Amino acid sequence: MRAMVLHATAPAEEAPLRAEDVPTPEPAPGQIRIRIAACGVCHTDLHTVEGDLALPRLPLIVGHQIVGRVDAVGEGARRFAPGARVGVPWMHETCGHCSYCESERENLCGEARFTGLHADGGYAEFTVAPEGFAYPLPEGFPDLQAAPLLCAGIIGYRALRLCEIQPGGRLGLWGFGASAHVTIQVARHWGCEVFVVTRAEEHREHARALGAVWVGGPGERPPRSLDAAINFTPAGGTVPEGLHALRRGGTMALAGIHMSPLPAMDYALLYGERTLRSVANATKRDAEEFLALAAEIPVHTDIEVFALEEANTALLKMKRSEISGAAVLKLH
């Protein structure tokens, strides 16, 4: 099968992924094999190829916003029949028996394995996944538009839950890429006022078009205090800006998997029972609830489509904030 393979981490400018023909994987017991139609390109992929994350193995096929159809099933796998359309997200599998797994907090499992990190992901024609960590996709979303729902959407939804925004509240978003452009649609569906701070003018225009009531650039503060905020940026220096904008009792959720060091902050930024918390992966509940909600709203994903062999270009454009919405690789 065709795949874009990472053999050594390097800056996106050096095109670290290599186009290769590799063996098509066979599904193990309890797994399904998926013929991939589309795979979203995520900032986590960028952090992976550039070496910001510790890699458990190389070579590696990255990508974890996978849409395709079941091509084969392993022994004992009965959840999906061949031909079923499924999505595969970041979470590949967990131990299933620790206290976190048993309390539906499997996103915190110490033995969790992730798609495109521990297991080969979606920058390829085929992949395999445990059937319990794949999801039927709602009708009405073509394959390319469905791909960003599998991480950008799910993580954005979990961040909304963890920042504790209430319907009709004032929400701040720092950064406005793939995840934020889905998250704002959910927040607006809940009747929230959304305030956006982001560095690229194209992204600011995108936020306005999706209903933000105020949009600013780096260092600007929303004109009203916020009930909650989500930081999608990898820049630790933006965290104090968000805390400054929070009302007493407000929460800021950090939605990225990697962030540069947080600067020293005056305790007064947290005083008043403000909360700063991270978003670590997502649960099955998050995926199921969000996919149902995305169909109900319905969410619209703005995408820029690339061929599989253009994966390096997609990563570089994302790094440079040159993509409005989400980048998606088209395979079949």
Q: Do residue 99 and residue 158 come from a single domain? A: no
Dump pLDDT digits (tens) for 251-279. 999 998 889 999 999 999 899 999 999 99
Q: Do residue 166 and residue 295 come from a single domain? A: no
Average pLDDT over residues 117-141: 96
For residue 128, is pLDDT > 90? yes
For residue 155, is pLDDT > 90? yes
Q: Do residue 229 and residue 311 come from a single domain? A: no
Q: Do residue 8 and residue 118 come from a single domain? A: yes
Average pLDDT over residues 189-215: 96
Q: Check whether the bond before 130 is cis (ω within 30° of 0).
A: no
Q: Do residue 83 and residue 127 come from a single domain? A: yes
Q: Do residue 287 and residue 256 come from a single domain? A: no
> What pLDDT score does 22 carry?
98
Q: Do residue 130 and residue 196 come from a single domain? A: no
Q: Do residue 57 and residue 78 come from a single domain? A: yes
Q: What is the CATH number of the domain that holds 298?
A: 3.90.180.10
Q: Do residue 198 and residue 131 come from a single domain? A: no
The helix/strand/coil state of 184 is helix
Cβ neighbour number for residue 148 with a 10 Å cutoff: 30
Last residue of a domain, one of 236, 255, 278: 278
Angle at 210 (CA atoms; ends 204, 216), nearest 5 degrees? 25
> What pLDDT score does 37 carry?
98
Average pLDDT over residues 294-310: 97
> What pLDDT score does 41 carry?
98
For residue 7, is pLDDT > 90? yes
Last residue of a domain, one of 257, 278, 299: 278
The 3 state secondary structure assigned to 81-149 is CCCCEEEECCEEECCCCCHHHHCCCHHHCCCCEEECCCECCCCECEEEEEHHHCEECCCCCCHHHHHHH
Q: Do residue 269 and residue 310 come from a single domain? A: no
Q: Do residue 36 and residue 111 come from a single domain? A: yes
> What pLDDT score does 77 carry?
95
How many domains, the chain? 2
Q: Do residue 37 and residue 144 come from a single domain? A: yes
For residue 332, is pLDDT > 90? no
With cut-offs at 50, 70 and 90, classify the pLDDT of residue 219: confident
Average pLDDT over residues 125-136: 97
Dump pLDDT digits (tens) for 308-327. 999 999 999 999 999 999 99
Cβ neighbour number for residue 191 with a 10 Å cutoff: 10
For residue 223, is pLDDT > 90? yes
User: How much of the chain, in percent, has pLDDT values that exceed 70?
Assistant: 100
Q: What pTM was estimated for this model as a whole?
A: 0.95
Q: What is the CATH number of the domain that holds 231?
A: 3.40.50.720
With cut-offs at 50, 70 and 90, classify the pLDDT of residue 70: very high
User: How much of the chain, in percent, has pLDDT values that exceed 90?
Assistant: 96
Mean of pLDDT over the chain: 96
Q: Which residue has the tokens 């992976």?
A: 48
Q: Which range marks the domain in which residue 245 is found?
A: 153-278
Helix H or strand E segment including 44: helix 43-49
Helix H or strand E segment including 227: strand 226-231
For residue 109, is pLDDT > 90? yes
The whole-angstrom separation of Cα 209 and Cα 86 is 30
> What pLDDT score does 318 carry?
94
